[in-house]
C-alpha cells in the first residue's frame, strides 16, 4: 500500500512539473538606448516589444490553460492526502487497540503470577500436611516430578494423588500455560505496535511529501503567472515609451513641415508681392511712356496744323519720326524666344548625372529612355527660366512630381521636374533667368536633382543642343 501511494505521489508531482515546465522560458526584454534613435530603429524596437508582448501573452494564456490541469493535480493530491490521513488514523487506531490489549495482557499476566503463587503456596501446605501425617509415598511422588504436567501424564503417579490434589495440580498447570500464552501474545502485540508505529511514521513522511508537493505546484504556478504578468507590464511600458518617442518625432517633423510650409507660403507671397509691384511699376512705366508718346503725337499734330507749316523743316520732321520709332521699338509687352542658346537652368549646379537617351531605369517606375537632362542639385537650389515665355503649367503628377512648363514661342517649350517648391504660377510671364522654382526630389526620384526637358513642336529633344 505504501509503495503504491508513493508511486502515485511521484507521478502527480511529475505532472505538476510538466505542466509548469513549458512556461519556464524567460522573455527577452527590449531596451531603449538613452540617446535619440532613428525612426526606423524605434519602429523596429516597438515591433520587437509587441512581438515579446504577444509571446508573453501566449505564455500567460498557456499558464492559465494549465490552471485546470494543476487544479486536477491538486485535487488528486488532496485525495492522496486524505488517503494518507485515513491510513495514518487507521494505523493509530490499531496501535491504540493493541496498546490497550497489551495493558490488559500485562494485567492478566500479573494476575496469573499471583494465582500461581497462591496455588504454589497451597501445594506446599499439602506437602507439609502429608509429611506431618507420614504419607511418604505421596510426598515421594510429588518430589520426584520435574514437571507437573508430565507428572499428570504418568498413570502410576495419578493413582497416588487424591482427586483434590489433582484439581489443584491441573489448575496450577493451566495458570502457567496461561502465563506463557499471555507472554507470547504480549510479545507479538509489542512487535505489532512497533511495526504499526514505523508504518505510521512512513505514512506521515509520505503525507508530508504530498503536502510539500502540492504547495510547490501551486506556488510555482502562481510565481510563473506573476512573473509573466510583470513581464507583460514591463514590455507594455517599453512599447508605450517607443510609441511616445515616435509620436514626439512625428510631431516635431509635422511642426518642422508646417514651419517650412509657412515659410514657403511667406516666400511665395513675398515673391508674388514683388512680382505685382514689378508689374505695377512696369505698367506705370508703360503708361508714362504711352502718355509721353501721346503728348508728343499731339504736339506734332498741333505743330503740323500751325501757321509754321510753311516753314516745315525736313530735318526736324526726321528727328520727330526717329524719336517716335525708337519709343515704339522700346515697348513690347512680351518678348519670346527668337532662337539662340538657352540659359543654364540651375545656376548653382553644373553636374550632369544622367543624359538624354536610352538608359537603364534607375528606380522602379522610371523610364528606360531618358527624355531630358538630370542635373545634380542640393535640396531647394534655385531653378531659373531658360528663356522668356509664359508659364503654361505649374503643378504636380505622380512621376514628374512638382513641375513647371514654359512656352517660349516658335513651338519651343521647356519643363523643370521634381521640384520642391514654386516661385511662379500658371499664366505668369517670365523673363529669361528669372527664378521660377526650387529643386527637390518629388515624384519618381532617388534624390534631389533637376530634370530639365526641351520640347520642339511637341517632341522631346536633347537639351544640350539648345543650352549655352
- Residue 136: what pLDDT? 62
Given 245, 275, 299, the domain boundary residue is 245
195 and 49 co-located in one domain: yes
Q: What are phi and psi of 438, to 5 degrees?
A: -135, 135
Asked if pLDDT for residue 109 goes beyond 50, the answer is yes
Residue 49: inside a domain: yes
Asked if pLDDT for residue 369 goes beyond 70, the answer is yes
Joined together, the cell numbers standing for residue 256 give 518642422
Given 245, 277, 292, the domain boundary residue is 245
Mean pLDDT of the chain: 76
- Residue 333: what pLDDT? 43
Residue 163: inside a domain: yes
DSSP code of residue 345: S
Give pLDDT tens digits for 151-179.
544 444 444 555 656 666 677 678 778 77
- Residue 327: what pLDDT? 35
Identify the weakest region by mean pLDDT among 225-234, 306-315, 416-425, 450-459. Answer: 306-315
The answer to whether 185 touches 115, Cβ cutoff 8 Å, is: no
25 or 276, which is more confident: 276
Q: What's the rounded Cα separation, in Å, for the pair 381 and 372? A: 19
- Residue 53: what pLDDT? 86
- Residue 382: what pLDDT? 96
- Residue 456: what pLDDT? 93
- What CATH number corresponds to the domain at position 388? 2.70.70.10
- Residue 156: what pLDDT? 47
77 and 195 co-located in one domain: yes
SS3 content of the chain, % helix, strand, coil (to 5): 65, 15, 20
Residue 118: inside a domain: yes
Residue 342: inside a domain: no
433 or 19, which is more confident: 433
Asked if pLDDT for residue 267 goes beyond 60, the answer is yes
Residue 300: inside a domain: no
Asked if pLDDT for residue 368 goes beyond 50, the answer is yes
List beta partners, residue 234. none
232 and 356 co-located in one domain: no
Q: What's the rounded Cα separation, in Å, for the pair 195 and 354? A: 103
SS3 at position 391: strand
Residue 291: inside a domain: no
213 and 358 co-located in one domain: no
Taking the complete model, does pTM exceed 0.75, yes or no?
Answer: no
Residue 461: inside a domain: yes
Residue 254: inside a domain: no
- What CATH number corresponds to the domain at position 111? 1.10.287
Cα dihedral value 427, 433, 438, 441, nearest 10: 100
Give how many domains the chain has, as a whole number. Answer: 2
190 and 56 co-located in one domain: yes
Parent domain of 436: 351-465
SS3 at position 136: helix
The sign of the CA dihedral 461, 464, 465, 468 is: positive
357 and 241 co-located in one domain: no
* pLDDT band per the 50, 70, 90 thresholds, residue 121: confident
108 and 238 co-located in one domain: yes
Given 215, 245, 275, the domain boundary residue is 245
- Residue 392: what pLDDT? 97
Identify the weakest region by mean pLDDT among 79-83, 147-151, 260-264, 270-274. Answer: 147-151
Amino acid at each position: 500500500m505504501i509503495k503504491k501511494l508513493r508511486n502515485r505521489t511521484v507521478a502527480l508531482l511529475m505532472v505538476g512539473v510538466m505542466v509548469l515546465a513549458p512556461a519556464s522560458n524567460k522573455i527577452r526584454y527590449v531596451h531603449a538606448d538613452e540617446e535619440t534613435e532613428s525612426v526606423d530603429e524605434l519602429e523596429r524596437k516597438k515591433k520587437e516589444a509587441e512581438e515579446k508582448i504577444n509571446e508573453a501573452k501566449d505564455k500567460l494564456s498557456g499558464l492559465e490553460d494549465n490552471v485546470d490541469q494543476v487544479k486536477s493535480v491538486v485535487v488528486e493530491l488532496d485525495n492522496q492526502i486524505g488517503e494518507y490521513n485515513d491510513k495514518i488514523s487507521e494505523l493509530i487506531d490499531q496501535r491504540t487497540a493493541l496498546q490497550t490489549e497489551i495493558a490488559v495482557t500485562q494485567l492478566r499476566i500479573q494476575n496469573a503470577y499471583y494465582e500461581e503463587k497462591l496455588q504454589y503456596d497451597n501445594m506446599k501446605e499439602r506437602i507439609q500436611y502429608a509429611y506431618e501425617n507420614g504419607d511418604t509415598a505421596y510426598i515421594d511422588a510429588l518430589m520426584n516430578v520435574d514437571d507437573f504436567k508430565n507428572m499428570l501424564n504418568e498413570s502410576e503417579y495419578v493413582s497416588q494423588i487424591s482427586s483434590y490434589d489433582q484439581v489443584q495440580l491441573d489448575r496450577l498447570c493451566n495458570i502457567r500455560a496461561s502465563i506463557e500464552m499471555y507472554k507470547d501474545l504480549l510479545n507479538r502485540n509489542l512487535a505489532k505496535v512497533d511495526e504499526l508505529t514505523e508504518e505510521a511514521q512512513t505514512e506521515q513522511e509520505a503525507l508530508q511529501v504530498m503536502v510539500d508537493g502540492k504547495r510547490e505546484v501551486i506556488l510555482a504556478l502562481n510565481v510563473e503567472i506573476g512573473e509573466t504578468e510583470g513581464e507583460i507590464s514591463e514590455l507594455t511600458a517599453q512599447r508605450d515609451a517607443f510609441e511616445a518617442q515616435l509620436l514626439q518625432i512625428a510631431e516635431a517633423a509635422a511642426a518642422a513641415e508646417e514651419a517650412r510650409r509657412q515659410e514657403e507660403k511667406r516666400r511665395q507671397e513675398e515673391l508674388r508681392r514683388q512680382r505685382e509691384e514689378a508689374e505695377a511699376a512696369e505698367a506705370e512705366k508703360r503708361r508714362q511712356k504711352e502718355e509721353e508718346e501721346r503728348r508728343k503725337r499731339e504736339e506734332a499734330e498741333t505743330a503740323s496744323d500751325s501757321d509754321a507749316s510753311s516753314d516745315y523743316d525736313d530735318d526736324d520732321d526726321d528727328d520727330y519720326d526717329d524719336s517716335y520709332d525708337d519709343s515704339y521699338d522700346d515697348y513690347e509687352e512680351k518678348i519670346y524666344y527668337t532662337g539662340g542658346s538657352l540659359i543654364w537652368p540651375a545656376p548653382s549646379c553644373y553636374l550632369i548625372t544622367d543624359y538624354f537617351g536610352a538608359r537603364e531605369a534607375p528606380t522602379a517606375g522610371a523610364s528606360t529612355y531618358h527624355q531630358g537632362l538630370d542635373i545634380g542639385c542640393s535640396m531647394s537650389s534655385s531653378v531659373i527660366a531658360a528663356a522668356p515665355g509664359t508659364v503654361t503649367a505649374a503643378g504636380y503628377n505622380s512621376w514628374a512630381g512638382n513641375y513647371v512648363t514654359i512656352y517660349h514661342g516658335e513651338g519651343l517649350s521647356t519643363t523643370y521636374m521634381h521640384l520642391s517648391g514654386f516661385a511662379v504660377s500658371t499664366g505668369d510671364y517670365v523673363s529669361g533667368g528669372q527664378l521660377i522654382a526650387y529643386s527637390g526630389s518629388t515624384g519618381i526620384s532617388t534624390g534631389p536633382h533637376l530634370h530639365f526637358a526641351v520640347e520642339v513642336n511637341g517632341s522631346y529633344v536633347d537639351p544640350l543642343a539648345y543650352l549655352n
